[in-house]
Amino acid sequence: MSSPLTIAFVQQACGAADPRANLDTSLQALGEAADRGAKLVLLPELHLGPYFCQTEDCAQFDKAEPIPGPTSETLGKVAAELGIVVVASLFERRAPGIYHNTAVVLEKDGTLAGKYRKMHIPDDPGYYEKFYFTPGDLGFIPIDTSVARLGVLVCWDQWYPEAARLMALAGAEVLLYPTAIGWNPDDSPEEQRRQLEAWQLVQRGHAVANGLPVITCNRIGYEPDPTGHTPGIRFWGNSFAAGPQGELLCQADAEEQRVLVVEIEPRRTEEVRRLWPFLRDRRIDAYGGLTRRFLD
């Protein structure tokens, strides 16, 4: 990436029961992003439908598809028509009984530039992802595209500094996080605020620690628990872009469906890393404990 790059990211509701309706919303947003000059567009996590991991239901596996497959091919055609690079999040069927939460990167000519399989898989009330997703096995490897080397990570990965660091050490020029995260509607306003601030703060910390811009794209809207056992999830939006010193470049609110557009300047990473040479001063000889679960 040798010149400024215009990136768009799409904050949208994904609660329609018909996957085509959600996809059409995404496709319309891709067109708007291209019209506004974007060369790279990021979509939210699992944007084809409601967040099905609120419950454990084997019927949901029918929603998975191979990669390449119907949705990646549709997105590839649109990417080629618009001349943009697209990052999208899909439910991948790899083999019978093996499914992944996978981000695909479609080049501006429509080809599949690469994919990233979500590495950190949560298993919490309302987020039963371990039931559905096999942990990723592609590692933290950036994906080279015509516009930049992309460090693509997915949602729960955004809490782990190790993931961001390894992407940075492998030469990622920007960190991208397609996301589906929200509040328990029963939580107090104070607790909701703490969660939102922690979510943003940790990712801005990744930007600072690695001297890289960070783009985080979340969904919005209330999605009920199909079983009625929990109050469901109100996805908190607040998609944002941060610069390499953690500075907020743009941010959405918790409700509005919109396309955000931001320009990032690769020279900023060089300038910031000269001022704050964190990568230079790492004590790689002393970090062996990081490979252990806990230092008893």
Q: Which residues are catalytic?
A: 45, 118, 155
How far apart are the C-alpha atoms of 87 and 153, rounded to whole Å?
11
Report residue 200 as tokens: 């943003």
Counting other chains too, the contacts that 188-194 makes at CB distance below 8 Å and 24 or more residues apart are 192/236
Euclidean distance between the first and the last CA atom of the chain, given in angstroms as a whole number: 44
105 close to 86: Cβ distance less than 8 angstroms: yes
| Cα-Cα-Cα-Cα dihedral sign, residues 145, 139, 88, 76 | positive
The closest alpha carbon to 135, from 147, 120, 116, belongs to 120
How far apart are the C-alpha atoms of 185 and 220, rounded to whole Å?
13
CA distances from 263 to 94, 110, 112, 213, 242 (A): 35, 23, 24, 10, 11
How far apart are the C-alpha atoms of 241 and 39, rounded to whole Å?
16
Report residue 145 as tokens: 């595209």
